[in-house]
C-alpha cells in the first residue's frame, strides 16, 4: 500500500512540474495570417491602377452553401485622409467581415468591385471563386501552433489556381495581385 501511495505522489509531482513548465511559456505562433489573403492592386503602367482609381473598393462575400445565412455581406473601403488602399486589404476569418457561425475564409466566394465614387458604376470586377486551404497543427514542446501548408486561390472562373502559400513556411502573406484583364 505504501508503494502505491509513493507512486501516486510521484505521478502527481511529475504532472505538476510539467504543467508549471508549459504554463510559464508564452507561445508565439505567428499564425495570424495562416489563412488570410492579401489583395494588392497592381501599379503596372499597362494593366495596373492609379491611386485615384482605388478610392472606393467594395468587397462582397457569399457563402458557398447558398442555403446559409447571411446570403451576402458587403464591406466598403473608402480612401480617406490620403490613406492608400493599394495593398492594405486583407481577407481573413475575422476581418474585414465578422465571423458567421464557425465558417472560415474558404467557405465563401468573394467579389471585388472598384468604382470611382460611390455613385458611379463599377468599372472593375474581380472574382475569387474558391480558396483551397491545407493546414496542420505543429507541436514544439509546450506550444502547438497552426501551420498553413497550402493556400490555393481560384479566380475569375479559371481552373488553374494561384498559389499564395508562403514559400518560407512562416504563415506570411503572399499578395494576390489584381490587374486589369
Across 128-153, average pLDDT: 87
In this structure, how many other beta carbons lie within 10 angstroms of the beta carbon of residue 178?
Answer: 22
7 domain residue, yes or no: no
In this structure, how many other beta carbons lie within 10 angstroms of the beta carbon of residue 61?
Answer: 21
100 domain residue, yes or no: yes
Return the pLDDT at 21: 56
**Phi then psi dihedrals of residue 14, to 5 deg:** -65, -45
48 domain residue, yes or no: yes
Residue numbers of the domain that contains 80:
33-178
84 domain residue, yes or no: yes
Return the pLDDT at 122: 85
Pull the grid cell for residue 84: 492608400
How many domains is the chain partitioned into structurally? Answer: 1
9 domain residue, yes or no: no
Across 142-152, average pLDDT: 86
Please, are residues 137 and 146 in contact by the beta-carbon 8 Å criterion? yes
Amino acid at each position: 500500500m505504501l508503494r502505491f501511495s509513493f507512486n501516486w505522489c510521484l505521478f502527481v509531482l511529475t504532472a505538476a512540474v510539467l504543467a508549471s513548465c508549459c504554463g510559464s511559456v508564452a507561445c508565439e505562433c505567428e499564425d495570424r495570417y495562416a489563412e488570410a489573403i492579401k489583395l494588392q492592386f497592381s501599379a503596372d503602367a499597362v494593366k495596373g491602377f492609379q491611386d485615384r482609381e482605388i478610392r472606393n473598393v467594395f468587397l462582397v462575400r457569399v457563402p458557398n452553401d447558398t442555403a446559409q445565412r447571411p446570403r451576402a455581406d458587403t464591406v466598403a473601403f473608402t480612401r480617406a485622409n490620403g490613406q492608400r488602399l493599394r495593398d492594405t486589404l486583407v481577407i481573413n476569418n475575422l476581418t474585414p467581415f465578422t465571423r458567421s457561425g464557425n465558417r472560415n475564409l474558404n467557405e465563401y466566394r468573394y467579389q471585388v468591385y472598384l468604382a470611382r465614387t460611390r455613385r458611379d458604376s463599377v468599372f472593375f470586377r474581380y472574382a475569387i471563386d474558391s480558396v483551397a486551404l491545407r493546414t496542420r497543427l505543429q507541436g514544439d514542446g509546450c506550444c502547438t501552433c497552426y501551420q498553413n501548408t497550402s493556400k490555393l486561390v481560384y479566380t475569375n472562373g479559371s481552373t488553374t489556381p494561384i498559389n499564395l502559400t508562403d514559400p518560407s513556411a512562416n504563415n506570411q502573406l503572399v499578395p494576390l495581385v489584381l490587374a486589369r484583364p
